[in-house]
Chains A and B, each alone.
Chain A
Amino acid sequence: MIKLKKPVHLFVPILSVAMVLLLVPEQADARRNSRSSVNHNKNTNRNVNRNRNTNVNVNRNTNVNVNVNVNNRGRYYHPVATGLAVGAAVVVTAAVIGSVVHTVPAGCVTVIRGGIAYQQCGSTWYQPQYTGNNVSYIVIQQP
């Protein structure tokens, strides 16, 4: 991870990352899965979809950190549907606190603090959680 010395320079790489992502056709993120049961639970909230949409955006930023991540550790489903088929290796700034990703970068270590498991990836800390049937990771302040 490259640390940028001047904040003004952030703009250029972020913009270029966005441009690159627009040009990568393989960048296909899953929006949703087919419904698995006939009996519709009326209590089911629609927030799930909103979460998914958020994840999709976050995924895009995160994947940029990863060279090629075909090691689909956390997701329930196949990599094609999780936006992992990204070939571009681009460096961006650290993940935003509170954002959620489906996988953590390579080289993270498990750290237990106060009985809770975290993933420390350099200066970025992730807390694993279940969202639905899948494990996702929320970016947190260092515990």
Chain B
Amino acid sequence: MIKKKSISLLIAAGLTASCSLVSADKTVAPEMTNIVDSQSINEKATALQAMSEMSEYLRSLKQFTVTTDISFDEVLDNGQKILLHKVAELSVEKPSKLRATVATEYTQREFYFDGDVFTIYTPELGYFASFSAPATLKSLVQTAKADYDIDVPLADLFLWGAEGGPSLNVDEAMIVGIDKVNGVSCNHFAFREKEIDWQICIQRDGTPLPLKLVITEKNSASQPQHISIMKWNTSPDLSSQNYTFSAKEGDQKIAFGKVKTDK
């Protein structure tokens, strides 16, 4: 606990938590039961404030590219976890243009969204499928997941960075410390929710970008993890970027399998 306090004091110096938040917590603290001390409340407020500032910064970006190395567990029937790797590259123009590629050594997926039509394409098979989605990236990732079970890479970016901001519903939040991702210094926070624990490292130099995101699933006995390490370019030249899919010769349009069914 002493170690934790000293770390959080260290972090507090580097964070921009407002004084009003801190003083507000002090007035709340006496009403709390003894299981929640003012220290943890301060940490939670500070961590949520950092998330809020990161989201605000993401909203302020008109365009960006981000490359992310993703390590993720695949859980086998016997409960064994296999850690696999893939790389995702995203080009984004707000409010509604997205181009993404996800690649492993074995296969590739391409994602196109021009504000109207979303297309997923598997180049090595020549198969693609499309659907129409509302013209915001938030709506796109939500529709893709809910109606087609498609995971758009780094979907959180579009939900955190959406107008209106994120609605974080965390049970606990902790300041872990200062870390470095690809040589860039960042503040490391850890959050707990009912179904997942998650961690984020947010860049420290006044450009609060997420550099690392770790999700741990608690529903599964194996507790699989999904780790994204991000490299950002917030002033890319996207003038020649194409967001509308155009099929090559031999490509075939196929359907989506039935996804939306009764529970």
Question: Are B73 and A28 interface neighbours, CB within 8 A?
Answer: no
Alpha-carbon distance A32/B88, docked complex (angstroms): 20
Cβ-based interface call for B57 (8 A): no
Question: Are B155 and A34 interface neighbours, CB within 8 A?
Answer: no
Cβ-based interface call for B78 (8 A): yes
Name the one of A38, A75, A76 contacting B196, with C-beta atoms under 8 angstroms: A38
Name the one of B77, B129, B148 contacting A29, with C-beta atoms under 8 angstroms: B77
Tell me the chain A residues, 2-44 only, with Cβ under 8 Å from chain B. 28-41, 43-44
With both chains docked as a complex, state the minimum distance between the C-beta of A98 and any C-beta of chain B, in angstroms: 11
Which A residues lie within 8 Å of B213 (CB)? 38
Question: Are B75 and A130 interface neighbours, CB within 8 A?
Answer: no
Alpha-carbon distance A1/B257, docked complex (angstroms): 28
Alpha-carbon distance A130/B118, docked complex (angstroms): 13
Cβ-based interface call for B239 (8 A): no
Cβ-based interface call for B195 (8 A): yes
How many CB-defined contacts (below 8 Å) exist between A and B? 166
Which A residues lie within 8 Å of B156 (CB)? 37-39
Question: Are A131 and B149 interface neighbours, CB within 8 A?
Answer: yes
Cβ-based interface call for A109 (8 A): no
Question: Are A34 and B73 interface neighbours, CB within 8 A?
Answer: yes
Instruction: Name the segment of B18-26, B40-48, B58-66, B103-111 touching the other chain.
Output: B103-111
Residue count of chain A within 8 Å CB distance of chain B: 47
Cβ-based interface call for B256 (8 A): yes
Tell me the chain A residues, 81-113 only, with Cβ under 8 Å from chain B. 81, 100, 110, 112
Cβ-based interface call for A72 (8 A): yes
Cβ-based interface call for A123 (8 A): no
With both chains docked as a complex, state the minimum distance between the C-beta of A26 and any C-beta of chain B, in angstroms: 11
With both chains docked as a complex, state the minimum distance between the C-beta of A50 and any C-beta of chain B, in angstroms: 9
Which B residues lie within 8 Å of A41 (CB)? 142, 145-146
Question: Are A39 and B261 interface neighbours, CB within 8 A?
Answer: no
Question: Are B155 and A44 interface neighbours, CB within 8 A?
Answer: no
* Also in contact, A32 and B129, with CB within 8 A (given A38-B156, A39-B155, A81-B74): no
Which B residues lie within 8 Å of A135 (CB)? 122, 125, 127, 254
Question: Are B72 and A46 interface neighbours, CB within 8 A?
Answer: no
With both chains docked as a complex, state the minimum distance between the C-beta of A53 and any C-beta of chain B, in angstroms: 9
Cβ-based interface call for B248 (8 A): no
Question: Are B224 and A130 interface neighbours, CB within 8 A?
Answer: no
* Also in contact, A47 and B254, with CB within 8 A (given A31-B77, A73-B124): no
Question: Are A29 and B72 interface neighbours, CB within 8 A?
Answer: no
Question: Are A72 and B107 interface neighbours, CB within 8 A?
Answer: yes
Q: Which residue of A lies closest to B147 (CB)?
A: A43
Question: Are A34 and B150 interface neighbours, CB within 8 A?
Answer: no
* Also in contact, A79 and B106, with CB within 8 A (given A131-B149, A132-B151): yes
Alpha-carbon distance A33/B224, docked complex (angstroms): 8
With both chains docked as a complex, state the minimum distance between the C-beta of B263 and any C-beta of chain A, in angstroms: 6
Q: List 11 A-B contacts (CB under 8 A).
A: A28-B80, A34-B75, A36-B153, A38-B196, A45-B263, A47-B261, A73-B107, A76-B109, A78-B74, A128-B125, A138-B257
Query: Besides the contacts A48-B149, A128-B252, A136-B257, what 10 more A-B pairs have beta carbons closer than 8 Å?
Result: A30-B76, A30-B77, A34-B73, A34-B226, A36-B151, A38-B196, A127-B254, A129-B257, A131-B256, A132-B148
Closest A-B pairs by Cβ, 10 of them = A34-B224, A43-B146, A117-B252, A132-B149, A34-B226, A131-B257, A129-B257, A81-B74, A39-B159, A28-B76
Chain A residues within 8 Å of B, Cβ to Cβ: 28-41, 43-48, 51, 56, 72-81, 100, 110, 112, 116-117, 127-133, 135-136, 138
